[in-house]
Amino acid sequence: MAKRTLPETPPKARTLEEAQLLIDELWEQLVEKDQQTKQNSKNSSRPPSSDSPAHTPPKGVIKRKKSIRSRGAQKGHKGHRRALLPEQEADAIHQHYCASHCDCGGIVQRHQAPDYRHQIFDLPDIQYRMEEHQLFHGHCEHCGQRHRAMLPDTVSPTQMGAGLLGLCSILSGQYHLSIGKIKSLMKDVFGISFSTGAWSQALWQVTPMLTRTHQSIHHAVCRDPVLHADETRHQRDSEKRWMWLATSQKFAYFMTHYSRGKEAAKRLLKNHQHDTVIVSDQYASYYWLPDTSHQLCWAHILRNLTAIAECSGTTGHVGKRLVLISLAVFRTRHRYEQEHLKPYEYHRRMNKLRRYFENELKQGMSLAMQKYAGRCERLLKDQAMLWTFLQADNIPLTNNDAERRLRGYVLWRKGSYGVRSHRGELFRARILSFVETCKLQKLSVFASLREIISAVIQRKPYPDIFQTEIATPSRWGG
């Protein structure tokens, strides 16, 4: 689509009516451009990293009292110090005694137990372990037929074992190191030297080993009563694609798709239970969900309303009232979660806020700025999806859980050039699902990944790391 270009000379109005129409059109464009320049992470969906250091976004349209507390540790607060490990866990104990005689000439009676214990943690000299498998061949003395030995099925056909493959994978998938940095780190720390292509191939070897776990996470996450869904931009070579996420309290499932539309959202949430509640933003891809099973994120709503509140005149007054009501919704929910409100008080206040919010939205539909009038009209149309959280206490107000899970991938994307192939996409989706699910279940990422890789290499039963309770073949490697 060709970009719109302006003529070299300004248009000339023949009558006052034409001049007024021209002024109105130009003024509308000027206001729109002015609103775009004022966009930041507080009043739009832009990430905080896009905020310019020279133009710090305002703290908010609603002034809050400045805290009287100083920065850092507070006087009177309970201190938190590292607890000492038991003596049995020490690799070496060095005992230091005081002098045996006092300056006065008397003998010092030493205590049996130490008065102070000082523990030092350090890393041992790290050295890799190499095993050599020698294959012999021979020939029959009678007929001369040659016989060759074969590697056992339990031996990896590659030059990297389970530990090395697992460490390489989490250095890329969890700590977002490039292949070049992985190569350099392995050389500096372990003294292991492989080519860049070998390290890249190692990641591809791990990808099919995680297929079964990736599928199990997808099935498990769709069975949870509350899901958070979100998506972010994903680059594959020169093609713009999307990284989708569905997460719950115990599982996080990532997938890549060429589209940001409804079909991709349906693929992400396929097989979800009919009574599952999906929490998302206002993007249209999720609007195929029933209103009773769809909760809109109030954090997104608050940012959109803040943009209205920052306007002048009637538009700003309506926006400020909507922001105040939204903040009251958050405050009421927090007080209820802290057990400062009883259930009947909580629902009574929320229903009152709901009526106030609806009335303000109706006034907002008549705003002079069509952009913000349309925003109020859409919120009024989506009223049912704003208050789904009143059905049950486990339905959250915001989609913050999904944004937290996506943050790691966003940082990875910003520090790399994306992926160049389909296999790179598969690795990212599967390793991210594995890493984030381990975090949610407080499992060691490295130990869990090493267990899966070892089981696949040694042809042992495939481990169900996350206890998804889904029937799987006893032997499965990809």
Residue 335 covered by a domain: yes
In a domain, 348, yes or no: yes
Share of the chain above pLDDT 90, in %: 55
**pLDDT tier at 129 (50, 70, 90 boundaries)?**
confident
Residue 304 within any structural domain of the chain: yes
**What mean pLDDT do residues 381-392 have?**
94
54-78 in b/e form (b: 16+ CB < 10 A) is eeebeeebeeeeeeeeeeeeeeeee
pLDDT of residue 186: 93
In a domain, 244, yes or no: no
Q: Which of 68-77, 230-239, 303-312, 338-347 has the lowest mean pLDDT?
A: 68-77
The whole-number pLDDT of residue 478 equals 44
Cα torsion 27, 32, 36, 40 to 10°: value is 110
User: Over the chain, what is the mean pLDDT?
Assistant: 87
Residue 395 has pLDDT above 60, yes or no: yes
Q: Which domain holds residue 313?
A: 298-397
Q: Sorting pLDDT into bands at 50, 70 and 90, what band is 475? A: very low
Span of 30-34, 167-171, 350-354 with lowest mean pLDDT: 30-34
Residue 185 has pLDDT above 90, yes or no: yes
Residue 372 located in a structural domain: yes
Per mean pLDDT, which of 5-19, 65-79, 270-284 is the most reliable? 270-284
Give the containing element (helix H, strand E) for 148. strand 146-148
Residue 211 has a pLDDT of 94
For residue 347, pLDDT over 90 is answered with yes
- What is the phi/psi pair of residue 469, to 5°? 55, 40
pLDDT at 77: 78
Q: How many domains does the chain have?
A: 1
pLDDT of residue 105: 84
**E strand or H helix at 182:** helix 179-185
Neighbours of 213 (CB within 10 A): 24
Q: Determine contact, residues 409/432, Cβ cutoff 8 Å.
A: yes
The residue with greater pLDDT, 57 or 273, is: 273
pLDDT of residue 472: 46
Identify which of 9-18, 48-57, 172-181 has the greatest average pLDDT.
172-181
Could you tell me if residue 313 is inside a domain?
A: yes
Tell me if 98 is assigned to some domain.
no
Question: CB count, 10 Å around CB of 279?
Answer: 26
Q: Which band of pLDDT confidence, cut at 50, 70 and 90, is reported for residue 3? A: low
Amino acid at 93: I
User: pLDDT at position 473, please?
Assistant: 45
Residue-wise burial string across 184-197, b where 16 or more C-beta atoms lie within 10 A, e elsewhere: ebbeeeeebebeee
Beta bridge partners of residue 232, listed in sequence order: 243
pLDDT for residue 63 is more than 80: no
- Rounded Cα gap, residues 285 and 264, in angstroms: 8
Distance CA 333, CA 347 (A): 10
Report how far residue 141's alpha carbon sits from residue 94's, in angstroms, rounded to the nearest whole number: 65
Asked whether residue 269 is assigned to any structural domain, the reply reads no
Pick from 297, 147, 176: nearest CA to 227: 297
Q: What is the mean pLDDT of residues 120-132?
A: 85
User: 1-5, 33-37, 175-179 — which one is most confidently predicted on average?
Assistant: 175-179
For residue 54, is pLDDT > 90?
no
Q: Which of 29-38, 68-77, 270-279 has the highest mean pLDDT?
A: 270-279
236-240, 286-290, 329-333: segment of lowest average pLDDT: 236-240
Pairwise pLDDT comparison (474 vs 66), residue with the higher score: 66
pLDDT in tens, 245-294: 999 999 999 999 999 999 999 999 988 888 899 999 999 999 999 999 99
User: pLDDT band at residue 41, thresholds of 50, 70 and 90?
Assistant: low
Q: Are 466 and 217 in contact (CB under 8 A)?
A: yes
Give pLDDT, residue 471: 46
Q: Cα separation of 230 and 218, whole Å?
A: 15
What is residue 477's predicted lDDT score, i.e. its pLDDT? Answer: 45
Name the residue with higher pLDDT: 232 or 45: 232
More confident residue, 433 or 141: 433
Alpha helix (H) residue ranges in 8-96: 16-37
Asked if pLDDT for residue 60 goes beyond 70, the answer is no
